[in-house]
Amino acid sequence: MVATAATSSFFPVPSPPGDAKSSKVGSGSASLGGIKSKSASSGALQVKANAQAPPKINGSPVGLTASVETAKKEDVVSSPAPRTFINQLPDWSMLLAAITTMFLAAEKQWMMLDWKPKRADMLIDPFGIGRIVQDGLVFSQNFSIRSYEIGADRTASIETLMNHLQETALNHVKTAGLLGDGFGSTPEMSKRNLIWVVTRMQILVDRYPTWGDVVHVDTWVSASGKNGMRRDWLVRDAKTGETLTRASSLWVMMNKVTRRLSKIPEDVRGEIEPYFLNSDPVVNEDSTKLPKLDDKTADYIRKGLTPRWNDLDVNQHVNNVKYIGWILESAPPPILESHELAAITLEYRRECGRDSVLQSLTAVSGAGIGNLGGPGKVECQHLLRHEDGAEIVRGRTEWRPKHANNFGMMGGQMPADESGA
């Protein structure tokens, strides 16, 4: 501090704003510890020592000497410790903390990859998209029934089961490497603006799963005539192997620009034929003709049904699953309360767009209109049409009393593995 004071007298430095009155930079005089500096007219600096002796208090000198001693004490106290090899080493604590964090994160990821079920009934891979079996001809996938997929009966709805069927069909095409730009279209189909459309669907439900159940879905495709394809599904309880649902469908190609049906081009046939499985339908085809309903023959009519934006698929027409919900809109409430859907057959006649206004018609047969809540089975005929009368879907449903002990009456089986594996 003494050296700083002496240097300041020769080379004045700016003072803080609070000392502006006692010191000026570049001119005037400054006083510090009894030392005065004055700038000469020639620009040289002259120093005068104060002739006054330092004052004493009780025989001890005060002033500059005391200040110097105090400064020396402060310098001793504030001086850093001597630099040694130890205190020159870097601070390893930050590096050690980073390494520990990385190790813990890696251990957590490894535990997730090496996860094993704690219960025997838990799936090892509950979030997988499925796998191809039987030499690539059958696709298998598991689904867990969620709480939001069950209805008032605490069982999965028919729409939930239909969504599982549709999901496995698309995942089958994707896993096989045949998914093009369209919704289930192969690359050659996408080049020609071709898409698959379903013409007929038949579903038999032996038992509905409930919340927490895990279902195992198998699906495969086969040829149907010269220009069609059949896709079958078999749904079983993943824990017991019990057959829950069997479904079969027929598909044809349509040009999504002209909206007209198309033959299967040879290039497309070459893509899909290697995946055809030569097997019988998992459901015996219902050859009974579906009658056309009108206002006179229908017992129940629901009007003013309109598609929402979320009802459309990527091909800009209403999803097939939505049709089932609209058909059941006109089903009699007594049947819904006392019976459950056991079988449904649908014939798709025309597509439905976003601006369509629809009507749902239902006619009851079997037990009769006056005994809908009875213990017997009930059969209904259905029609979904545009307001102008153009048919969209014809359907037939079969209903059985709820909690009837008739499950597994037509046990389905997967097609045999022709490779012998």
Active-site residue set: 315, 317, 352
The alpha carbons of the chain give a radius of gyration, in whole angstroms, of 44
Instruction: Tally Cβ neighbours within 10 Å of residue 130.
Output: 21
Q: Give the helix, strand, coil percentages of the chain, each rounded to 5.
A: 25, 30, 45
SS3 300: strand
**First-to-final CA distance of the chain:** 94
Sign of the Cα torsion 323, 411, 339, 218 reads negative
Which positions ≥6 away from 182 have C-beta within 8 Å?
189, 190, 194, 195, 256, 314, 315
For every residue of 65-116, DSSP letters joined together read HHHHHHHHHHHHHHSPPPP-TTTTS---HHHHHHHHHHHHHHHHHHHHHT--
| CB-CB contact of 214 with 142 (8 Å) | yes
| CB-CB contact of 222 with 278 (8 Å) | yes
User: 230: closest CA among 198, 186, 255, 262?
Assistant: 198
Q: Where are the alpha helices (DSSP H) in 200-346?
A: 266-272, 320-327, 333-338
Length of the chain: 421
Which positions ≥6 away from 215 have C-beta within 8 Å?
142, 143, 145, 164, 209, 235, 236, 237, 238, 244
Chain center to CA of 419: 37
* The two structure tokens encoding residue 188: 């050659």
